[in-house]
C-alpha cells in the first residue's frame, strides 16, 4: 500500500530525525468536543455502533484534520475492542463508561479466552484502517493503537472502570500465575491486532497503558511493562518501505521512564505531571517524547494556552524527538477554538527550536 506522505513530520520526530517544526496531534482528537463528531455519533445510534461501522469511524477520524492543521490522524476505535471480540459482552452506558456482562475472574474464565482473529471478529477495525488510509491519500500518517495487556486485564477483571482496582490487584497478588496466564493471552491478542493494523495501513502504533500507574514499581515492571515489551517485540520494524514508529504511554508512569525507555519503543508518552526537560534528561536520547500539556489547560484563555505551549516547547528545548500532545485525552466540553489556539501556537513557536 505505497502512498507518498505529504507530511511525515510526525514519523520523523518519533524516530528523532530532523524536523522543521514540532509536530502536534491530540489524544482523543476525534471526540465529543467537536460538534461534527456529536452529529455523527447521534446518527450512529451508539458509541459501539460508531466504532464498528468503518465508514462512520473513517468520517470521525478525518473530522479534526479538516478543522485543524494536525500532523497525524489516529484511528477512531476503542481500547476494549479485543475483550469485546473475546465475547465478554461489552456495553457503554451513557455517563457510566464501559461494562462487561461476563467479567474474567476465575481460571476457567481465563482458559476460555482465545486470541481473536483480527480479520474475523475484528475485521471492522481493519476495514476502517484501510478506508482511512485511502481517504487520507497521504495527507498525514495514520496512527493505529491498542490498550496494553495490563489495562485490558483491569477492565476485564473489574468488569467496568474502577477506583481502587481491588479485584484485578487481588487476583494479581493472590494468584500471580493466573494473572500471568491472562496477560499472556492478552499480549498475543494485542500483538496480532496491531500487526493486522500495520498490514492494513497504520503507519505508527501507540500502546495505551492507561492503568499502569496504579501499580507499585515492582508490580509495574512484572505485570505491565514486561507485557508491553512482549507486544513491541512481536511488531515489525518496517512496513511499506519505511519504519513504523511505536509509542508507549503509561498514564502516571513518570517515575519509570528509564525502564520504559529500555522496553523497545521508539517514543514514550509523558503525562503532565513530569516536566519534559526532566524526562528528556532521564531517557538520555534513547527515545522520543510525546506530550505533555495538561488537558485542563484548554479551559484557560487562548492567551494563557499560547503561553503554556511556549513554556512546554522551551522545557523540551532545542532539537528533534518531541511530538507535542496533551498529557492525556482532550476533555469533552473544551471549546474547539481553544484546541485550535494550542495547535496554532505549536506551529508559530516551534520552528525556533529546530534551527540547525
- State the binding site: 28-32, 78, 155, 210, 328
Active site (annotated) includes residue 78: yes
Active site (annotated) includes residue 242: no
Active site (annotated) includes residue 112: no
Which residue in 33, 37, 155, 220 is the catalytic one? 155
Which residue in 12, 41, 232, 306 is the catalytic one? 41
Nearest to 143 by CA among 296, 42, 13, 56: 13
Residue with cell 481502587: 164
Which residues are part of a known binding site for substrate?
28-32, 78, 155, 210, 328
Active site (annotated) includes residue 133: no
Which residue in 32, 38, 67, 130 is the catalytic one? 32
Which residue in 12, 21, 33, 78 is the catalytic one? 78
Active site (annotated) includes residue 243: no
81: exposed, middle or buried (C-beta count within 10 Å: 0-12, 13-18, 19+)? Answer: buried
Q: Which residues form the catalytic set?
A: 28, 32, 41, 78, 155
Amino acid at each position: 500500500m505505497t502512498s507518498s506522505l505529504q507530511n511525515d513530520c510526525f514519523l520523523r520526530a518519533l524516530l528523532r530525525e530532523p524536523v522543521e517544526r514540532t509536530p502536534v496531534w491530540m489524544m482523543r482528537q476525534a471526540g465529543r468536543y467537536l460538534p461534527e463528531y456529536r452529529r455523527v455519533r447521534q446518527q450512529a445510534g451508539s458509541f459501539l455502533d460508531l466504532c464498528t461501522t468503518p465508514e462512520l469511524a473513517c468520517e470521525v477520524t478525518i473530522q479534526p484534520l479538516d478543522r485543524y492543521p494536525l500532523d497525524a490522524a489516529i484511528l477512531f476505535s476503542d481500547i476494549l475492542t479485543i475483550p469485546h471480540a473475546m465475547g465478554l459482552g461489552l456495553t457503554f452506558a451513557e455517563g457510566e463508561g464501559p461494562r462487561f456482562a461476563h467479567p474474567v475472574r476465575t481460571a476457567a474464565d481465563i482458559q476460555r479466552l482465545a486470541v481473536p482473529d483480527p480479520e474475523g471478529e475484528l475485521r471492522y477495525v481493519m476495514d476502517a484502517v484501510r478506508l482511512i488510509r485511502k481517504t487520507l491519500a497521504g495527507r498525514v500518517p495514520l496512527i493505529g493503537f491498542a490498550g496494553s495487556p495490563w489495562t485490558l486485564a483491569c477492565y476485564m477483571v473489574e468488569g467496568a472502570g474502577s477506583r481502587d482496582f481491588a479485584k484485578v490487584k487481588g487476583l494479581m497478588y493472590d494468584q500471580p500465575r493466573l494473572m500471568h496466564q491472562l496477560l499472556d493471552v492478552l499480549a498475543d491478542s494485542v500483538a496480532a491486532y496491531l500487526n493486522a493494523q500495520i498490514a492494513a495501513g497504520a503507519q505508527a502504533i501507540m500502546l495505551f497503558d492507561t492503568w499502569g500507574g496504579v501499580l507499585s514499581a515492582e508490580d509495574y515492571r512484572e505485570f505491565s511493562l514486561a507485557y508491553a515489551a512482549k507486544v513491541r517485540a512481536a511488531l515489525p520494524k518496517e512496513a511499506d518501505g519505511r519504519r513504523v514508529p511505536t509509542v508507549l504511554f503509561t498514564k502516571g508512569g513518570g517515575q519509570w521512564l528509564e525502564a520504559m525507555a529500555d522496553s523497545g519503543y521508539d517514543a514514550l508518552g509523558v503525562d503532565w505531571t513530569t516536566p519534559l526537560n526532566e524526562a528528556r534528561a532521564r531517557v538520555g536520547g534513547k527515545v522520543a517524547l510525546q506530550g505533555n500539556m495538561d488537558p485542563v489547560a484548554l479551559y484557560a484563555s487562548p492567551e494563557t494556552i499560547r503561553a503554556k505551549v511556549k513554556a512546554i516547547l522551551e522545557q523540551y528545548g532545542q532539537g528533534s524527538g518531541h511530538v507535542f500532545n496533551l498529557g492525556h485525552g482532550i476533555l469533552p466540553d473544551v471549546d474547539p477554538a481553544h484546541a485550535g489556539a494550542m495547535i496554532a501556537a505549536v506551529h508559530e513557536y516551534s520552528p525556533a527550536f529546530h534551527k540547525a
